[in-house]
Amino acid sequence: MEFDKALTTLMGKPETTQRPFPDAKLDDNQPLTEAERKQSAGLMRVNHAGEVSAQALYQGQALTAKLPDVRTAMEAAATEENDHLVWCQQRLTSLSSHSSVLNPLWYLGSFTIGALAGKVGDKWSLGFVAETEKQVVKHIDSHLQVISNNDLKSRAILAQMKIDEQQHGTAALEAGGAMLPEPVTKAMGLVSKVMTKTSYWL
């Protein structure tokens, strides 16, 4: 079942909440320059790779979570993350670009980390989610600062993703998530930088 979920995330059509696309009512009235298009494509590729990782993280944690309510929360969050995955993929397609070729690697690594976090204990697993979402929000903020103001569609998608990620992080803490030690958060930040730098180009 987990292998099937991985294939669906990487190559299929994952289950979503069926929410409307954030950019559905926006038109590309101002064509992007080639430089703007490439920049938007690179940034959305990074976000798509991040959503692949998030999906794997939640699936891994749900697999090893000890408390049923924690497992259910992880699975619900994974479905909402699928919305982001589909939104980013569609935007990449409309920008005549592609998702990262390294996505299978990001999925495998994140699934392993998620499963290990869940095995350590639910409070640490939830804490890991909270810290992950905190770092994701920072990345989205940085993207919103540099992406072209003409790219209204990408900006709309990122804005809604930011809202959702903040809610997931808050929910994880309220469910009993523990604050992670500083060395762990720094290590997570370093891994995140590697992923974002490589996914932008690949």
Give the Cα separation of 8 and 78 in Å (integer): 13
Binding-site residue positions: 51, 81, 84, 133, 165, 168
Q: What is the pLDDT of residue 37?
A: 92
Handedness of CA 9, 140, 125, 193 (dihedral sign): positive
Q: What is the pLDDT of residue 10?
A: 72
Over residues 85-115, the pLDDT tens digits come to: 889 998 999 899 998 888 888 888 888 877 8
Over residues 173-183, the pLDDT tens digits come to: 877 777 877 77
Instruction: Please report, to the nearest 10 degrees, the dihedral formed by the alpha carbons of residues 121, 123, 128, 134 taken in order.
Output: 170
Instruction: Please report, to the nearest 10 degrees, the dihedral formed by the alpha carbons of residues 118, 124, 130, 135 taken in order.
Output: -90
Q: Which two tokens stand for residue 54?
A: 């998030």
Check if the beta carbon of residue 152 is closer than 8 Å to that of residue 83. no
- The reported pTM is 0.83
Written as tens digits, the pLDDT of the chain (202 aa) is 766 666 666 766 777 777 888 887 777 667 889 999 999 999 999 999 888 888 787 777 777 766 666 666 666 777 777 888 889 998 999 899 998 888 888 888 888 877 887 777 777 778 878 888 888 898 899 999 999 988 999 999 999 999 988 888 888 887 777 787 777 777 777 877 788 888 888 8
Q: What is the pLDDT of residue 194?
A: 82
Separation of CA 166 from chain center? 12
Binding-site residue positions for Fe cation: 51, 81, 84, 133, 165, 168
Q: What is the pLDDT of residue 143?
A: 92
- Which are the contacts of 142, defined by CB distance < 8 A and separation ≥ 6? none
Q: What is the pLDDT of residue 29?
A: 63
Q: What is the pLDDT of residue 179?
A: 80
Evaluate whether the domain defined by 34-201 bears CATH number 1.20.1260.10.
yes
Any idea what DSSP says for residue 12?
S
Q: What is the pLDDT of residue 4?
A: 64
For residue 64, the number of C-alpha atoms closer than 13 Å in the C-beta half-sphere is 21
